Amino acid sequence: MNKSVARSLFSIPVIVAALGYFVDIYDLLLFSIVRVPSLHALQVPDDQLLSKGIYLINMQMAGMLIGGILWGILGDKKGRLSVLFGSILLYSAANIANGFVTNVDQYALLRFIAGIGLAGELGAGITLVAEVLPKEIRGYGTSLVASVGVLGAVLAYFIADMYDWRIAYFIGGGLGLALLVLRFNVFESGIFKHIKEKNTSRGNFFMLFTSGKRFIKYLRCIMIGLPIWFVIGILITFSPEFGRAIGLAEPVNAGKAVMFSYIGLSLGDMSSGILSQLLKSRRKTVAIFVLLTCGIVAIYLLQRTQSLVVFYGLCLLLGFAIGYWALFVTIGAEQFGTNMRATVATTVPNFVRGSVNLFTPLFLLGTAHVGVLGSAGLILAGTALLALWAAWKMEETFGKDLDYLE
């Protein structure tokens, strides 16, 4: 790597976007890690841990769906930096407040507010990095952001393991507020400044639905990410239940499952970014990682190990297989013009995250008929087929010039 490329990759916007996503992931995944101890502390009975956990996750994801639209529109109307500042301030405050909850309803409301805040971070960061880096290396830059960012889940596990769950929320909120200081050194995208001077419609969310071609393109961007959140939202979040379903004698620690899967996700994000640069193709790389996901999930569901080490190893492999998250968001940013880019790059990952609101009732319905493992297998098949079809049909965007309008 020559000095000019290294200088671009490790510039202030890339570093701050990576650190912002690091704190975002810490706060986003913290509930999955402290779900059981926090609900126990709120006196939720053991037989309601799954149902109350799903309720709280759905509230967080509902907030992310709403926040994705709000922050996306703001990012295209007011600029990428406005989202980077506003979103982190909101979710940091909400997560500090999470440490004071005394019942499940308070918990749900604050997870909803935190979800709104968390929705803006990744899309705005990826959009900014994609626009400020040379097109030949932006795949490396967005992968670097995600690879560093997802390690926030590892920190969340260790913090939750060392401290009470309430303290873990306080620390997450404090990290976010501390990051605001660094954000003052970030500069706005030149591409956005250029179109801001023009009299053109920006951040019009409804433009995505006024053209059939544009709407189908938008749906494809969402579809390629569905297997990622199925793995995170179902297989990893509810890993204790899957551990029991495959007959593990020892209980699975959800926090460890999250930690190992996100270590794998970090490695996968970097690998998919490098692979897409080598193949000079986003589409082929997505297809490879979706097929890899299918293979690892099949092993996860069909194996009957009695070793927790093997189980956590499979969680790591699952994380690696879905490690095209940064690539998936980058594709969304590259598919649309500058006047719609932040809207798409912010809403797409949040609609994918919000798909857990569909996955969980389908999963529970399927569990009643074909069991935990069979239900998960059916959802995997559906999401993988949609993702492969979308990747096959979408435009190749590697090396595409992003200075254009819808």
Q: Count of residues for the chain? A: 406
CB 162 within 8 A of CB 362: no
Domain assignment of residue 378, yes or no: yes
Give residue 299's pLDDT band: very low, low, confident or very high (50, 70, 90).
Answer: very high
CA angle 90, 91, 93 (to 5 degrees): 70
Domain assignment of residue 35, yes or no: yes
> Stretch 321-334: mean pLDDT, rounded?
91
Which is more confident, 224 or 306?
Answer: 224
What is d(CA 256, CA 346) in angstroms, rounded to the nearest whole number?
29
Domain assignment of residue 403, yes or no: no
Which is more confident, 102 or 203?
Answer: 102
Residue 228 confidence (pLDDT):
96
Residue 97 confidence (pLDDT):
96
Domain assignment of residue 142, yes or no: yes
* Least confident residue range of 14-23, 257-266, 267-276, 281-290: 14-23
Domain assignment of residue 148, yes or no: yes
What is the number of other CB atoms lying within 10 angstroms of the CB of residue 21? 25
> Stretch 338-347: mean pLDDT, rounded?
88
CB 225 within 8 A of CB 356: no
C-alpha gyration radius of the chain: 20
> Stretch 216-234: mean pLDDT, rounded?
94
Please determine, for residue 349, whether its predicted confidence score (pLDDT) is greater than 70.
Answer: yes
Please determine, for residue 82, whether its predicted confidence score (pLDDT) is greater than 90.
Answer: no
Q: What is the pLDDT of residues 27-39, one digit of tens each?
A: 888 887 888 899 9
Please determine, for residue 256, whether its predicted confidence score (pLDDT) is greater than 80.
Answer: yes
What is d(CA 49, CA 36) in angstroms, rounded to the nearest whole number?
7
Domain assignment of residue 191, yes or no: no
Give me the residue label for tokens 């803006």: 120
Domain assignment of residue 156, yes or no: yes
Q: What percent of the chain has pLDDT over 70?
A: 94
CB 338 within 8 A of CB 405: yes
User: In whole numbers, what is the pLDDT of the chain averaged over residues?
Assistant: 88
The 3-state DSSP class for residue 324 equals coil
CB 21 within 8 A of CB 125: yes
Structural domain boundaries, residue 318:
3-183+205-393
Domain assignment of residue 171, yes or no: yes
Question: What is the model's pTM?
Answer: 0.84
Residue 100 confidence (pLDDT):
95
The packing angle between helices 282-302 and 356-393, to 10°, is: 140
Residue 194 confidence (pLDDT):
66
Give residue 405's pLDDT band: very low, low, confident or very high (50, 70, 90).
Answer: confident
Q: What is the DSSP track for 15-67?
A: HHHHHHHHHHHHHHHHHHHHHHHHHHHTT--GGGHHHHHHHHHHHHHHHHHHH
Tokens of 375: 């239900």
The number of folded domains in the chain is 1
Contacts of 170 (CB under 8 A, 6+ apart): 95, 96, 99
> Stretch 371-376: mean pLDDT, rounded?
93
Q: What percent of the chain has pLDDT over 90?
A: 45
Which is more confident, 14 or 288?
Answer: 288
What is d(CA 74, CA 99) in angstroms, rounded to the nearest whole number?
29
Residue 130: give its domain's CATH number.
1.20.1250.20
* Least confident residue range of 5-9, 139-143, 349-353: 5-9
Residue 331 confidence (pLDDT):
92
Q: What is the pLDDT of residues 87-144, one digit of tens each?
A: 888 999 999 999 999 999 999 999 999 999 988 888 888 888 888 888 888 888 888 8
